[in-house]
Amino acid sequence: MKQYRREVADYKREEPKLYALIMMFLSNESLYAVQKEAGGTTVDTDADTETLWQLVELIHKVLSSSKVEVVMKLAARTQLAATRQGAFELIISFKKRFNNALKAYNDQKNLMMKPEDIAMDFFRKLDNGRYGEFKTTFINGLQMKSVKPPANLNEIFTLAKTYLKPKLVSGSGGIGSTFATTADIIERKPGEGKGKRQRGKNPQGQAKEDKNENLDKTEGSARKKPKCFSCGSEHYINNS
C-alpha cells in the first residue's frame, strides 16, 4: 500500500507537466478535432491527461480528415497496404509501425485477417535490399515443403531478425566467407558518401601549362614574323 500511494502521489505531481507537454505539441487542427469528440469539451476544464491522450490517439489512428465510417475504413486499409520497411529502417521499428497500422485497420472494423495471413503480409513488406535472400530462401522452402508457414507475426519476425547473412571478402586466397551478420545490419562501404579526389594534374598546374603553351605559340608566331629591311614592317616572309 505504501508503494501504491507513492506511485499515485508521483502521478498527481507529474500529471500537469504531461498535460502541458501534450497540449504544447498539439496543432490547432488536432485540438479542434479533440474538442469535437465526446468528452472533449471538459478536457481543458478538468485538465484530464488520460482522457486527452485517449482522444488524441483516437483521432490520429487513421490518416483521414473525414469522419464518415466507410471513408475511415478505406483510409485504414490503404494505410496498412502502404506500410513498408524503409531502406534504412530497423526491423523492430518497422514492426511497431506495422502493428499500429494493423490496430487502426482492426479498430475501423475491417475484415479480420488470419494470423498466418498477417505474418505473410509482414513478410512481403520487408526490405528487399537486406532481406531479399531470406525471402527467396523462405519461399523456396515453402514450395519444397521443407519449412512450415509462419503461424503468427512474432514467428516470422523472429526468423527474419535472426537470419544470418554471410559476409564475402576477397583476398590473395580467393573469395571466402569470414563471418556472418544479421540481415538487419546496414553495412556501408569504406569511404562511401565522401568526395573523391580528382586524379591527375591540379587546376593550377594545368593553368600554368596552358599559359606556357600559349606563350610558346605566341613567341613562335613572333619568330615567324621577322622585320623586313626594305619596308621596315613585320610580316611573314614568302619562302618561295
Identify whether residues 77 and 53 lie together within a single domain: no
Residue 192 lies in a domain: no
Give me the pLDDT at residue 152, please: 95
Give me the pLDDT at residue 81, please: 93
Residue 191 lies in a domain: no
Identify whether residues 79 and 139 lie together within a single domain: yes
Give me the pLDDT at residue 240, please: 44
Residue 26 lies in a domain: yes
Identify whether residues 78 and 122 lie together within a single domain: yes
Identify whether residues 33 and 80 lie together within a single domain: no
Going residue by residue through the chain, which has 240 residues, state the pLDDT in tens, using 9 for 90 and above. 999 999 999 988 998 899 899 888 888 878 887 877 777 777 777 888 888 888 887 777 776 666 778 888 898 899 899 999 999 999 999 999 999 899 889 988 899 999 999 999 999 999 999 999 999 999 999 999 999 999 999 999 999 999 988 776 665 555 555 566 787 877 665 566 555 555 545 555 555 555 555 555 555 544 555 555 556 565 555 554
Give me the pLDDT at residue 204, please: 55
Residue 206 lies in a domain: no
Rounded Cα distance between 141 and 167, Å, is 22
Question: What type of residue is 70?
Answer: V
Identify whether residues 19 and 79 lie together within a single domain: no
Three-state DSSP class for residue 213: helix
Identify whether residues 68 and 44 lie together within a single domain: no
CB 152 within 8 A of CB 116: yes
Q: Is 159 exposed, middle or buried (0-12, 13-18, 19+ CB in 10 A)?
A: middle
Give me the pLDDT at residue 222, please: 47
Question: What type of residue is 238?
Answer: N
Identify whether residues 84 and 52 lie together within a single domain: no
Domain that holds residue 180: 64-185
Residue 6 lies in a domain: yes
Rounded Cα distance between 131 and 125, Å, is 10
Task: Pick the closest to residue 184 from 216, 158, 155, 212 (CA basis).
Answer: 158
Identify whether residues 138 and 180 lie together within a single domain: yes
Identify whether residues 2 and 32 lie together within a single domain: yes
Q: Distances in Å between the alpha carbon of 119 and those of 76, 122, 150, 185?
A: 18, 5, 6, 22
Give me the pLDDT at residue 165, please: 80
Identify whether residues 79 and 28 lie together within a single domain: no
Give me the pLDDT at residue 226, please: 57
CB 226 within 8 A of CB 237: yes
Give me the pLDDT at residue 170, please: 60
Identify whether residues 34 and 137 lie together within a single domain: no
Of the three residues 60, 77, 104, the one that is the final residue of a domain is: 60
Three-state DSSP class for residue 48: coil
Task: Give the number of domains in the chain.
Answer: 2
Of the three residues 9, 39, 60, the one that is the final residue of a domain is: 60
Of the three residues 42, 60, 78, the one that is the final residue of a domain is: 60
Identify whether residues 129 and 77 lie together within a single domain: yes
